Structure 1
Amino acid sequence: MTGWVTRHWRALLLWTLGLFAGLTLLALMIAYSGIYNIAASAGHPAWMEWVLQLGKERSVKFNSRSVKPPKQDSADLVPLGAAHFQSTCATCHGAPGQPLNPVFGHMLPSPPDLQKHAHHWTREQLFWIARHGIQFTGMPAWSGAGRDDEVWAVVAFLEALPSMSETDYRRYAGGHSETQGYSAGAFVSQGRPRLDLTACSRCHDTAGAAPPSPYVPHIGGQNEAYLRRALHEYRDDSRQSGFMEPVADDLDDEQIDRLAAYYASLPPSPRQRPRPSSPQLREQGRQLAEQGDRARKVPACLSCHGANGRSDYPRLAGQSEQYIRRQLQVWRRGGRHKTPHGAMMSVVAKRLTDQQVEAAASFFAGRPPQADRVQEEASAP
């Protein structure tokens, strides 16, 4: 057999090329003729459904092999992932207590109920799907370039979703927001959003409560100019975030000004007790914050983020250790370098060692949020 193939390989090659060209021509003729019904209502033939499903599953498994899950506390990420899922994903996929919208149920292919199907995929595969999307299904790629950290929050939620009750889901997805009572007149003229999707307090702090997830910043009592700048950057797509960009895109200038003023006027929210750290690490963090590191060309953190810093820079005192560490890691990977302020901070972050990142996060997490305000009031004329 091998000898016959060796003697006739040229003929076999020509036959193979001819067959491929013929099938390609046939496919083009069918496509051009329009005889194949592409209506979603027509569905797929069983053989095509099998081929498409096989191709999707094999592609996800093959391309997700290089994904390396980071070390993280998934439980702390679930509320963040749930809030995003409710605002952008539940419309198509449904959620506990929220059946699949009938409009999206008639898509082809129909979006799966992830409470039933999420466990079919591994952690790496869930990340790859949420990060890159799937062609010809309506599943989009993640909108925040370079923000893989946000995608992992959604993955943490999806892993918890199959065993999540309706009560648990509403608690996670709703955060601190309050579902209001609506009169018949309000229903008629305004409708009613599910879980108050536009409420900032789903993810962020209130005057009396910290953010539901330590990976979310405390913005109560933050600099008004900084909050205004951040919202404009999210809206302009110059600061990347798959969580914040869709929200900011719906805001006009007046709404941004009102939100910035409101949160700036709030007292700092209660904070979680920082994780225990060694005295050596805290001292290294203090020196980095107050003196910087000349050898590595790192300026003192408090020169920009302290009482004497610019008003459009954020206060860091009292932010959670997880949030500060995560943001420094994003800067080091180049995920926040598209704005002038982000580009400067990206340079500084890349000069930090891993231990300095830990030290800075530990120092500011242990610093009372009122510290900067006290210094500002003392230095005021």
Structure 2
Amino acid sequence: MMAWITRHWRSLLLWGLGLFAAGVALAFIIAYSGIFNIAASAGHPAWMEWFLQFGKERSVKVNSRPIVPPELDFAELVPLGAAHFQGTCAICHGAPGQPVNPVFDHMLPSPPDLQKHVRYWNREQLFWIARHGLQFTGMPAWSGGDRDDEVWAVVAFLEAMPSMTKADYHRYASGHSETPSASAQEFVHEGRPRLDLTACNRCHDTADASPTSLHIPRLGGQDEAYLKRALQEYRDDFRQSGFMEPVADDLDDEQIDRLAAYYAALKPFPHKRTAASSPELRELGRRLAEQGDRERRIPACLSCHGGKGREDYPRLAGQSEPYIRQQLQVWRRGGRNQTPHGAMMSVVARRLTDQQIEAAAAFFANQPPQSGQALSSSAEEAARP
């Protein structure tokens, strides 16, 4: 047999190329003729539905194998993932107490009810799907480049969702925001109140409550210039975040100015405390904050991030350890170097050792939050009752 193939390999190659060309031509003729009905209402033939489902499952399982999942802090990550899910995913996939929207239920393929289907995927596979999306399904890739930390928050929520009641889900997804009941007249004119994507209280601090997760920054008392710059960078795709970019994209300049003024005037509310770090680690963080590290060419953190630092730089005192540590790691990976400010900080972050990152986070987390600098006129106006 092998001898025959060796003698006739040229003929076999020509026949193979001819069959391939004929198949391509036939596919083009079918596509050009329009006889194949691509209407979503027509559905897929059974053989195609099986083939697409099989191909999807194999692709997810094979491509997710190299992923090494971290330990997930469910208590802190679930509220963050739930708030994002409500704002961007629930409209298609439904949620506890919220059935799949009938419009999106008629997509082809229809988005699955994840409270029922999420258990069919393991942690690595859920991450891969949320991070990269799925072709031919309408499932988008994650919008924040190099923000795997955010994707893991969604994974933590998805793993917890099957056992959630409607009340559990609403508590996680709403955070500090409220959905007031509407009168018939308000309902007629404005529609039913919902948990809106741009409701900052879903995640961030209020006058009498800390952020809903230790992975979320405290905004109260930050300088107005910094808050304005951060929102503009999210909106213009210069600062990456799958959580914040969709929110900021919906804001115009006037709304950004008003939000920045409001939070600058808000009295800082401290984060809830994490487990106490060692005095030695905090002392190392203090030296790094006040003196820097000349040998590693690291400037003192407080030269930019203290009470006398630049107004367009964030204040770190009172932020949580997980948040500071997470942001420094994002900078170290180059995930926030798209702006001059970010590129400068990215250089510093790469020079920090793992111990110095832990020490800086421990030191600033144990400092009392600072009020912003002298309020601008817009901030003063926002602060008035």
**Superposition TM-score, scaled by structure 2 size:** 0.94
Q: Which residue of 2 aligns with 1:32?
A: 32
- 5+ residue gaps, structure 1, are none
Question: Is residue 253 of structure 1 aligned with residue 253 of structure 2?
Answer: yes
CA distance in 2, matches of 1:316, 1:72: 24
Aligned residues with identical type, % of pairs: 76
Does residue 357 of structure 1 match 2:357? yes
Q: C-alpha displacement at 1:56, in angstroms? A: 1.0
Give 1:267-278 correspondences, 5 Å limit: 267-278=267-278
Who is 1:235 aligned against? 235
Per the alignment, residue 123 of structure 2 pairs with 123
**2:100 equivalent to 1:97:** no
Please show how residues 157-168 of structure 1 align to structure 2 within 5 Å: 157-168=157-168
* Counterpart amino acid of residue 238 in structure 1: F
Structure 2 residue runs without a partner (length 5+) = 376-385
1:244 maps to 244
Distance (whole Å) between structure 1 residues aligned to residue 274 and residue 365 of structure 2: 6
2:205 corresponds to: 205
DSSP-derived class of the 2:170 partner: helix
Within a 5 Å distance, the mapping from 1:90-239 to structure 2 comes to 90-239=90-239
Equivalent AA in structure 2 for residue 281 of structure 1: L
User: Which residue type is aligned with residue 232 of structure 2?
Assistant: H
Query: Aligned ranges for residues 220-369 of structure 1 at < 5 Å?
Result: 220-369=220-369
Deviation at 1:66, TM superposition (A): 2.0
Look up the match of 2:73: 73
Shift of 1:71: 3.7
User: AA paired with 2:282?
Assistant: R
- Aligned residue for 1:296, secondary structure, equals coil
Deviation at 1:147, TM superposition (A): 1.2
1:175-232 deviation per Cα after TM superposition (whole angstroms, max 9, x unaligned): 0111112111111111124224431100101111111110000111111111111111
Once superposed, what is the RMSD of the aligned Cα atoms? 1.7
1:376 Cα deviation from its structure 2 partner: 8.8
Cα drift, residue 18 of structure 1:
2.1
Distance in structure 1 (CA, Å) of the matches to 2:152 and 2:271:
23
The amino acid of 1:315's aligned partner reads R
Q: Is the CA contact (8 Å cut-off) linking 1:174 and 1:196 kept in structure 2?
A: no
Q: Which residue of 2 aligns with 1:12?
A: 12
Tell me the amino acid that sits aligned with residue 143 of structure 1: S
TM-score, normalised to structure 1, is 0.95
Whether the aligned pair in 2 keeps the contact of 1:282 and 1:359 (CA below 8 Å) is yes
Find the counterpart in structure 1 of residue 84 from structure 2.
84
Moved more, 117-126 or 167-176: 117-126
Instruction: Give the AA of the match of 2:27.
Output: A
Cα deviation, 1:320-370, whole Å, max 9, x if unaligned, reads 000000000000001111111111111110110011000000100111114
1:223 and 1:286 mapped to 2: Cα distance?
A: 23
Range with greater deviation from structure 2 (138-147 or 64-73): 64-73
Q: Which amino acid aligns with 1:327?
A: Q
**1:178 counterpart letter in structure 2:** E
